[in-house]
């Protein structure tokens, strides 16, 4: 029996429609699954605890220990948590006085962590290389060695124990953590890891504007930090009459060996702003080039609540140079010389000099 052309066309069209339906259904399923996964990832990021940093370290809750301290009931704590509580209690007894305000308490803990703890460094800012448990309060307080996760969770633990609202914040790329703390009804960013070893207040009680110059986070989930009242550098900034007074003002503080200082410029105009930045950048870069030590200065511009320009300057010391045994240094130097024969290394492999007699093919 011969099938008509119309019937054969109908069968072919039906088959195509079935195939298209299957393909469309599969694509739609894949699309929906990807959307669900993206939503799940977004939900996973929009939380404080349970976040994994650098695919290695999880931000864990510190509430069991802080609540046990407040209630006096340690029956639900395991041995590790009890030891953490004992170590934290000793710090509070030594650093916190009964007449302190919440701000005073916060500043005391910030100084304790940034001055007394070692900054554990590695290829990534959050990967410990020397001590175990440097990513949690137990290891930080026991070994005095911390990565960013350790600093952030330990700072939060102390704040919670003292009844101060505090959150651990994570960067959007999940490589760094720090804290948000509520002082006087306003939120402030605190990054003890970044100020480790200096305690120069650079990363203490930053508002969102200051913090965003070096950090990136989910500002829709975490509360906005808009206060400046409890940023000591903004609050206590000295009045500087003219932008041309910056060198004298800068030199006075350097001579006094101040770790940080700040100046307020009222009614600054656009031309003044350009001059001020030129002078400041020139001083900072000039000191860096002429100073033989590893010490250096950084500067940050911001504004106070009245719109006045504030120049904040911070002193830091870079002690991060790697030290190698002589045998390893010699082997490393040989590897460098093979491809960079013009580089000159001293006997220790610490100082580097390059042949600058030729630049872009021309003698200079």
pLDDT value, residue 351: 44
Overall average pLDDT of the 99-119 stretch: 92
Q: Locate 330 and state its tokens.
A: 């010699």
pTM here is: 0.73
pLDDT value, residue 75: 96
pLDDT digits (tens, 9 = 90+) for 49-70: 999 898 888 899 999 999 999 9
Residue 211 contacts residue 224 (beta carbons within 8 Å): no
Average pLDDT of every residue of the chain: 81
d(C-alpha 44, C-alpha 35), whole Å: 14
Overall average pLDDT of the 79-91 stretch: 97
Overall average pLDDT of the 253-271 stretch: 89
d(C-alpha 254, C-alpha 238), whole Å: 15
Q: 14 burial class (0-12, 13-18, 19+ CB within 10 angstroms)?
A: exposed
**pLDDT at position 361 over 70:** no
pLDDT value, residue 339: 75
Residue 288 pLDDT level (bands cut at 50, 70, 90): low
**Residue range 236-317 in CATH 3.40.720:** no
Cα 149–chain centre separation = 10
pLDDT value, residue 158: 98
Domain ranges of the chain: 52-228, 236-317, 326-363
Residue 357 pLDDT level (bands cut at 50, 70, 90): very low
In this prediction, what percent of the chain has a pLDDT beyond 70?
A: 73
Q: Specify the higher pLDDT residue, 45 or 30.
A: 45
pLDDT digits (tens, 9 = 90+) for 294-333: 677 888 889 888 889 999 999 877 544 445 567 767 777 7
**pLDDT at position 121 over 60:** no
Q: Which CATH architecture has domain 52-228?
A: Roll (3.10)
In this prediction, what percent of the chain has a pLDDT beyond 90?
A: 51
Residue 267 pLDDT level (bands cut at 50, 70, 90): confident
**pLDDT at position 352 over 50:** no
Overall average pLDDT of the 114-124 stretch: 64
Overall average pLDDT of the 131-139 stretch: 84
Q: Specify the higher pLDDT residue, 39 or 16.
A: 16
Highest mean pLDDT among 128-132, 275-279, 345-349: 275-279
Minimal CA–CA distance to 194: which of 108, 113, 258?
A: 113
d(C-alpha 192, C-alpha 198), whole Å: 10
DSSP H stretches of helix in 46-74: 63-71
The helix or strand, by DSSP H or E, that contains position 11, with its residue range, turns out to be helix 5-45
d(C-alpha 38, C-alpha 17), whole Å: 31
Residue 341 pLDDT level (bands cut at 50, 70, 90): confident
**pLDDT at position 204 over 90:** yes
d(C-alpha 206, C-alpha 228), whole Å: 8
Overall average pLDDT of the 132-149 stretch: 90
pLDDT value, residue 2: 53
Taking the CB of residue 342, how many other CB atoms lie within 10 A of it? 11
Q: Specify the higher pLDDT residue, 254 or 5.
A: 254
Report the alpha-carbon angle 94-98-102, nearest 5. Answer: 95
Residue 5 pLDDT level (bands cut at 50, 70, 90): low
pLDDT value, residue 355: 37
Highest mean pLDDT among 2-6, 32-36, 73-77, 347-351: 73-77
């Amino acid at each position: 029996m011969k099938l008509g052309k119309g019937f054969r066309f109908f069968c072919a069209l039906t088959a195509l429609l079935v195939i298209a339906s299957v393909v469309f259904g599969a694509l739609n399923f894949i699309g929906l699954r990807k959307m669900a996964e993206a939503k799940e990832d977004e939900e996973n990021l929009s939380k404080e605890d349970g976040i994994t940093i650098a695919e290695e370290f999880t931000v864990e809750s510190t509430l069991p220990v802080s609540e046990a301290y407040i209630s006096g009931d340690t029956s639900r704590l395991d041995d590790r948590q009890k030891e953490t509580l004992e170590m934290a209690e000793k710090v509070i007894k030594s650093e916190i006085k009964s007449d302190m305000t919440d701000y005073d308490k916060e500043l005391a803990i910030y100084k304790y962590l940034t001055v007394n703890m070692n900054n554990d460094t590695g290829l990534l800012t959050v990967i410990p290389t020397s001590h175990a448990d440097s990513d949690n309060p137990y290891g930080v307080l026991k070994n005095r060695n911390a990565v960013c996760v350790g600093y952030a969770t330990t700072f939060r633990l102390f704040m919670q124990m003292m009844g101060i609202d505090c959150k651990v914040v994570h960067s959007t790329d999940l490589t760094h953590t720090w804290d948000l703390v509520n002082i006087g009804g306003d939120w402030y960013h605190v990054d003890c890891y970044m100020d480790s070893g200096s305690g120069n207040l650079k990363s203490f009680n930053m508002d969102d504007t200051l913090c965003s110059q070096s950090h990136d986070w989910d500002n829709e989930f975490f509360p906005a930090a808009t206060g400046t009242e409890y940023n000591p550098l903004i609050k206590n900034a000295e009045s500087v009459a003219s932008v041309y007074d910056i060198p004298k003002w800068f030199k006075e503080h350097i001579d006094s060996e101040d770790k940080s200082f700040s100046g307020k410029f009222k009614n600054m105009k656009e031309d003044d702003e350009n001059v001020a930045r030129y002078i400041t950048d020139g001083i900072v870069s000039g000191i860096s080039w002429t100073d033989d030590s590893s010490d250096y200065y950084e500067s940050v511009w911001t504004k106070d609540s009245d719109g006045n320009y504030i120049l904040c300057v911070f002193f830091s010391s870079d002690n991060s140079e790697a030290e190698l045994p002589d045998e390893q240094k010699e082997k490393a130097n040989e590897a460098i010389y093979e491809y960079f024969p013009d580089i000159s290394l001293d006997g220790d492999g610490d100082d580097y000099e390059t042949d600058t007699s030729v630049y872009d093919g021309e003698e200079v």
